[in-house]
Amino acid sequence: MLVALLLCAFTATATPRIGVVTMQPGEIFFERFGHNAILVDDPAQGTAISYNFGYFDPTEPDFITRFIRGEMRYQLVAMPLEDDLSYYRDVGRGVSLQWLDLAPADAAELATALAENALPENAHYRYDYFLDNCSTRVRDALDQALDGGLARQMGGSRGDTFRSEATRLASPDFWMWLGFDLGLGPASDQPLSNWGDAFVPMRLAASLRDAHSPDGTPLVAEELELLPHRLDPEPAETPRRWWLWLLAGGIIGGALAWTGRVASRPVAGLALPFWAISGALGALMLFIWVATAHRFGWANYNLLLMSPLAWGLLPGGWRLLRGQTPGRWFQRLLQVMPVLAILGLFTHWLQALPQQNLHWILLLLPIHLGLMLGLRTR
């Protein structure tokens, strides 16, 4: 019924009409960033087709390998709008439509290009979370139809970064938020233009509202709600209160240092899982850097806070827990951990555009110091 109403309004012309369909975030981890598609309403064909760049095939034989290596393959799928909307209606995700004021020739050219792109031999592309995803493909297709006019209007900036947007949208899911915040390296902290911001579908929709056609008229001719949003709203931006992280780190580090001077075995019992997890996270960061194409995880300065070297402390920590004296190398490595964290603090201060991990430094540096002071040889 909804699609029929959309079609009835535009049957007076054979020129296809172009719209951008924006889907609000969902509750599954891969839905947190929202979604979008290009709608081609072609009266000559009597149907509204949704061109959706967000499909992948988990049954591909090399799917898991590609996912780990950061070489995911996505594809463009063309389907009737009503089919595309059915899932979002079922799960309660809101959907809006922006009809665009494109010149007839530009609209026809875009419709033809999308149909060509959707052919099986052309549909696949190498996916990148930030640089080449379902939303940037929509952005680029529109920009090409406007002969670069969209890019010229999206040069401003809100001050967002890939990290700030990723952690904002992932914030309802703690583990997803934690993975992004720890796993993203310095490349994710470069300020974005509105063009770069468009990797988020809702940001692209906002930029389209401010854009204009070549003749100076608003690019968005009409905006309407196709489906109401029945889930929690998109997360708002919240400032990071670094002093809370420092307070927590100071309290934990101080307690470890004081308790360790009185009784080292309980502190060793707490340190063992901390070192095991730190080493595992550091090993994962190192693997991402040297063995995958996840470029926004490369050169991660959190390696100075959570190093695989922490695994070298496990044998000595186990000896302490059993009431035995750890070896000489344990004491030396125990001192290396806070030194690495201090190095991370200095590198943060010395960079013009540092990795935004100060909160982790302020939390973990006091903990490393507390363990060093609490477990050092009397």
| Tens of pLDDT, residues 244-266 | 999 999 999 999 999 999 999 99
Does 303 reside within a domain?
yes
Handedness of CA 201, 14, 227, 31 (dihedral sign): negative
146 and 116 both lie in a single domain = yes
**Residue 306: what residue type?**
M
Q: Give the C-alpha distances (Å, rounded to integers) separating 210 from 38, 135, 204, 328, 364.
A: 18, 17, 10, 65, 43
38 and 86 both lie in a single domain = yes
| Tens of pLDDT, residues 122-149 | 999 999 999 999 999 999 999 999 999 9
74 and 213 both lie in a single domain = yes
The label of the residue with tokens 């401010």 reads 210
With 0.75 as the threshold, say if the pTM is over it. Answer: yes
304 and 246 both lie in a single domain = yes
pLDDT score of 12: 46
Domain boundary, last residue among 202, 227, 252: 227
- Tokens representing 3? 């699609």
Does 163 reside within a domain?
no
275 and 141 both lie in a single domain = no
268 and 218 both lie in a single domain = no
| Tens of pLDDT, residues 280-315 | 999 999 999 999 999 999 999 999 999 999 999 999
Angle between helices 242-262 and 358-375 (to 10 degrees): 10
pLDDT score of 5: 46
Could you tell me the pLDDT band of residue 378, with boundaries at 50, 70 and 90?
A: low
pLDDT score of 13: 53
CB atoms within 10 A of CB 134: 21
**Is pLDDT of 92 > 90?**
yes
246 and 330 both lie in a single domain = yes
Quick one: how far is CA 208 from the chain centroid? 21
Structural domains counted in the chain = 2
201 and 284 both lie in a single domain = no
6 and 37 both lie in a single domain = yes
C-alpha closest to that of 198 among 162, 234, 231, 172 = 162
Q: Which domain holds residue 27?
A: 2-156+193-227
Does 164 reside within a domain?
no
Does 143 reside within a domain?
yes
- Tokens representing 307? 């190093």
CATH of the domain at 87: 3.90.1720
What 3-state DSSP class applies to 96? strand
Quick one: how far is CA 375 from the chain centroid? 39
| N-term to C-term CA, the chain | 79
**Residue 154: what residue type?**
M
User: Maximum CA pair distance of the chain?
Assistant: 89
What average pLDDT is seen over the chain?
94
- Tokens representing 358? 């100060």
**Is pLDDT of 14 > 90?**
no
DSSP code string of 105-167 = HHHHHHHHHHHHHTSTTT-EEE-BTTTBSHHHHHHHHHHHHTTTHHHHH-----S--HHHHHH
Cβ atoms of 199 and 164 closer than 8 Å:
no
Question: How far is it, in rounded angstroms, from Cα 63 to Cα 55?
Answer: 13
C-alpha closest to that of 171 among 332, 326, 33 = 33
CB atoms within 10 A of CB 196: 21
Q: Give the C-alpha distances (Å, rounded to integers) separating 336 from 57, 125, 168, 265, 314.
A: 45, 44, 34, 21, 14
213 and 270 both lie in a single domain = no
pLDDT score of 74: 97
Contacts of 185 (CB under 8 A, 6+ apart): 289, 296, 297, 298, 299, 300, 301, 355
